[in-house]
Amino acid sequence: MQIIHRISIDSTPEIRRELATMGIVVGASGLVTFEIDEAYEAWPALQSWITRRDAFDLISTKFSKKEITEARWLALEPGWQHGYPQPEDTHIGYRTATYDLTDFCEGCSLGLKQKAPFQMKAEPRWGRRSILQLHWIHDEFFVTPEIWSAIFRPHGIGCRPVLNTKGAELKTVVQLVVQEEVGVKTEGLEAERCTRCGRPKFLPVVRGPFPPLVTEPSSHMAKTREYFGSGGSAFRGILVSQDLARALEAAKVRGASFTPVAEPG
């Protein structure tokens, strides 16, 4: 596991000099961006420099193949977003068409409950991919009917149709239906509580593995009970079993990646 920091700052001759003392070479003006692994020997010095200079620091984690193949559970992460849920005039359009808004809160975006099929503008342009996420919808995955039949159906995962905006069923895409919910151990996670509805939302974990689960899901795919995100974004984690992840890898399914779920300590 490597913790990677993607650091950006408006450079100056002084900043260039400071970074050079830590072995990092950047230009003396304009926006500069560089990536550093926390294992880098000058990391401790650089870390305090980031704080002092208030540099922009985007953190991500790279997992080894071994870490991914040894995890019992994995978070399924989108490799791309393709298209917008319809009608897309505003967020209101697709929300009222697709969701029951009884428990929805405008403050934190929690509480959407799907009541109708998603609508897309047209058949997805899949290219060589066969799994996708729509923009704005971070906790639903869509796949080709072939991949659903070959991989998800044998693992007990259901699907539902996707419509175009005229109400006709699309032929090359289905939505995966994830029925099981599982709790996440939230100790140590940063949370924000909505001032309107009082419900908590956890900041997405970007450093290290996905937080451990409270119980072992009984099916091959589950959604977290907890919501993640910040501000107006709210989504639940989507988890897959090692067995399902292996089937996706073996079939060379493109369009998503895996983050290992930590074992309960």
Per CB under 5 A, residues contacting Zn ion are: 105, 107-108, 194, 196-197
Residue 68: burial class (beta carbons within 10 Å; 0-12, 13-18, 19+)? middle
Is the distance from CB of 162 to CB of 132 less than 8 angstroms?
no
Intra-chain end-to-end CA distance of the chain, in Å? 18
We find the least distance from the C-beta atom of residue 248 to Zn ion, in angstroms, to be 34
We find the least distance from the C-beta atom of residue 108 to Zn ion, in angstroms, to be 3
Residue 53 or 199 having the CB closest to Zn ion:
199
We find the least distance from the C-beta atom of residue 92 to Zn ion, in angstroms, to be 17
The length of the chain is 265
Residue 73 or 235 having the CB closest to Zn ion:
235
Phi, psi of 49 (to 5 degrees): -65, -40
Residue 68 or 197 having the CB closest to Zn ion:
197
Give dist(CA 85, CA 89) in Å, integer: 10
Report which residue type is found at 108. Answer: C
Residue 109 or 144 having the CB closest to Zn ion:
109
Give dist(CA 231, CA 109) in Å, integer: 8
We find the least distance from the C-beta atom of residue 59 to Zn ion, in angstroms, to be 26
**DSSP H or E run through 200:** strand 200-202
Sign of torsion over alpha carbons 235, 236, 242, 244: negative
Give dist(CA 229, CA 105) in Å, integer: 14
We find the least distance from the C-beta atom of residue 102 to Zn ion, in angstroms, to be 13
We find the least distance from the C-beta atom of residue 89 to Zn ion, in angstroms, to be 24
The two tokens of residue 17 are: 């000099």
We find the least distance from the C-beta atom of residue 54 to Zn ion, in angstroms, to be 30
Residue 76 or 108 having the CB closest to Zn ion:
108
Task: Tell me the pairing of strands 169-177 and 30-37.
Answer: unpaired
Residue 112 or 178 having the CB closest to Zn ion:
112
Residue 112 or 245 having the CB closest to Zn ion:
112
